[in-house]
């Protein structure tokens, strides 16, 4: 069974540019999450989809970040325009069950974003 995949693995852009990150969850997983790790700090929650619906986007830093999951399959996270502080590793995770249950989240390898 394929795991969570993310593309690209690395992205280097200049301040002010736009970047789109993609995540393909494990097949059959309705729950998809985005997390971010900045400057070696803790991994922080960004948002959660159930199928195509956003359940919680309380962790999104600001309105320069836009996440979508059209059709309830893969998801994209767009940063527009990118700022220096957006640099970090963006992780995607998926799980089968939902809130209120103990369900392991399976993580992708992350996309390392560098904003110059």
9 sits near other proteins (criterion: CB under 8 A): yes
Restricting to residues 52-91, name those near other proteins by CB under 8 A.
Answer: 55-56, 59, 91
Judged by CB under 8 A, the number of residues near other proteins is 30
C-beta of residue 113 within 8 angstroms of C-beta of residue 90: yes
Q: Which of 28, 41, 62, 71 binds other proteins (CB under 8 A)?
A: 41
Report whether 34 contacts 47 (CB < 8 A).
Answer: yes
Nearer to other proteins, 70 or 101 (CB): 101
From 45, 57, 72, 74, residue interacting with other proteins (rule: CB under 8 A): 45
Show Cβ contacts of residue 44 under 8 Å, excluding neighbours closer than 6 positions.
35, 36, 37, 38, 59
């Amino acid at each position: 069974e394929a795991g969570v995949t993310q593309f690209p693995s690395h992205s280097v852009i200049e301040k002010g540019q736009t970047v789109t990150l993609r995540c393909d969850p494990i097949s059959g997983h309705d729950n998809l999450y985005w997390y971010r790790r900045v400057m070696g700090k803790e991994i922080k929650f960004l948002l959660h989809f159930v199928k195509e619906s956003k359940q919680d986007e309380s962790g999104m830093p600001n309105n320069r970040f836009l996440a979508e999951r059209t059709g309830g399959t893969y998801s994209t996270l767009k940063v527009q325009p990118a700022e220096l502080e957006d640099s970090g590793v963006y992780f995607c995770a998926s799980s089968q069950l939902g809130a209120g249950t103990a369900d392991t989240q399976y993580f992708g390898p992350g996309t390392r974003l560098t904003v110059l």
